[in-house]
Amino acid sequence: MATYIYQLPGWPKFHWNHSDLANLLAAVRHRQGRLIGHMQALGFSLREEAILSTLTGDVLKSSEIEGDLLDKQQVRSSIARRLGMDVVGMTPADRNVDGVVEMMLDATQAYKDPLTVERLFGWHAALFPTGRSGMHKMTVGAWRDDKTGRMQVVSNPYGRRETVHYEAPPAKDLDAEMKRFLDWFNNTEDETDSVIRAAIAHLWFVTVHPFDDGNGRIARAIADMCLARSEGSSQRFYSMSSQILLEQKAYYELLEATQKGDLDVGPWLKWFLACLERAFDGAESILAGVFLKDEFWKKHAAVPLNERQRDILNRLLDGFEGKLTSSKYAKIEKTSPDTALRDINSLVERGILVKDDGGGRSTSYSLADERPPRPRT
């Protein structure tokens, strides 16, 4: 039987070689400060758009890591409504999307508040408003009870036996395990750097695995909460979850190795810090998109456009999935095919859209100039 980290004497007294992390932590902290300074120097509207784009990506990618694909426009609209942002073309969000957004915003906007059992139960209930994970009924807003057996993380490659990657602590230990975790998390006298605490909190929470489902998403929200504390700001300009998704294989492999290892969590901390630094690179892509959108609307400020046209152009600027066709336009904007085609033709005549290669029913359209502007200095 495998021995897991929580079964070791001394759990959960993690340790690591501080000197091994010193340079990497300093580099991360330096880039973190530069990024925040750069973003704070933006005008209000650009900073607001950067925050909205970052939070949207964070919610989408954290869910995608678990195989749950959310609707981008619903996520964006749900975030904008909760933050009081004036966004054209709001899309109604279903309760599953609203729940994920509610959890993430509570973690990052109310980052100074203590993390409590009640708060965690609220996040979990928001993630699973129907009381089900897929087709399966589950315990919601409470610790798992293990009535159907011990909580295991398994994979089942086609044609092969199940592989057990991890088995969590028994349910009878959860009250004590979570009290210990929350006491540590809320300890304001702990002098461990907040970025390091983000990495430890993530690892510790998913190791305890207190819920039937949603542990990964909640762990990443807790890490984001720590990162917000490290910056003293609720404004998010980079997405750790987006970078984790890009490195998903390494993420799961290192989690498994750490949970089956000893209490020296140095390798996990190194990976987390390096992944975080790479996440800052993603912020540059978000900023380029924000500048593109800003320059686009400045260029076309005097062009008379209806609300349908403005909405579809914003969707294209935000990263439209697939190709824009007249039938998609009609469906998205809830209008007739004839009206959709008139709107599109008007945008083509004004030089805002261009026809892609192809014709007839397959005719699709793109923005006339999708080249990002040069970064401002």
Give the pLDDT of residue 371.
42
CA gap 34, 153 in Å, rounded: 39
Domain boundaries of the chain, sorted by first residue:
5-290, 304-367
Residue 128 has pLDDT above 90, yes or no: yes
Residue 287 has pLDDT above 90, yes or no: no
Which range, of 66-70, 121-125, 319-323, 359-363, averages the lowest pLDDT?
A: 359-363
Structure tokens at 262: 């000893």
Quick one: which H or E segment has residue 355? Answer: strand 353-355
Q: Could you read off the pLDDT of 144-184 as tens digits, one per residue?
A: 998 888 888 887 655 567 788 899 999 999 999 999 999 99
Give the pLDDT of residue 160.
63
Residue 266 has pLDDT above 50, yes or no: yes
What is the CATH number that goes with domain 304-367?
1.10.10.10
Give the pLDDT of residue 88.
65
Better-predicted residue by pLDDT, 286 or 196: 196
What is the distance between the terminal CA atoms of the chain, rounded to a whole angstrom? 58
- As a whole number, the mean pLDDT across the chain is 89
For 4, phi then psi, to 5°, come to: -100, 160
Kindly report the pTM of this predicted structure: 0.80
**5-290 maps to CATH 3.40.50.300:** no
Residue 122 has pLDDT above 60, yes or no: yes
Buried/exposed 267-302: b ≥16 CB within 10 Å, e otherwise = ebbbbbbbbbbbbbebbeebbebbbbbbebeeebee
Which of 352, 233, 227 has the alpha carbon at shortest distance from 280? 227
Which of 341, 364, 363, 344 has the alpha carbon at shortest distance from 352? 344
Q: Could you read off the pLDDT of 100-116 as tens digits, one per residue?
A: 999 999 999 999 999 99
Which range, of 6-10, 32-36, 192-196, 258-262, averages the lowest pLDDT?
A: 32-36
Torsion of CA 14, 19, 22, 24, to 10 degrees: -80
pLDDT band at 65 (very low <50, low <70, confident <90, very high): very high
- CB-based contact 25:31 (threshold 8 Å): no
353-355 and 163-167 strand pairing:
unpaired
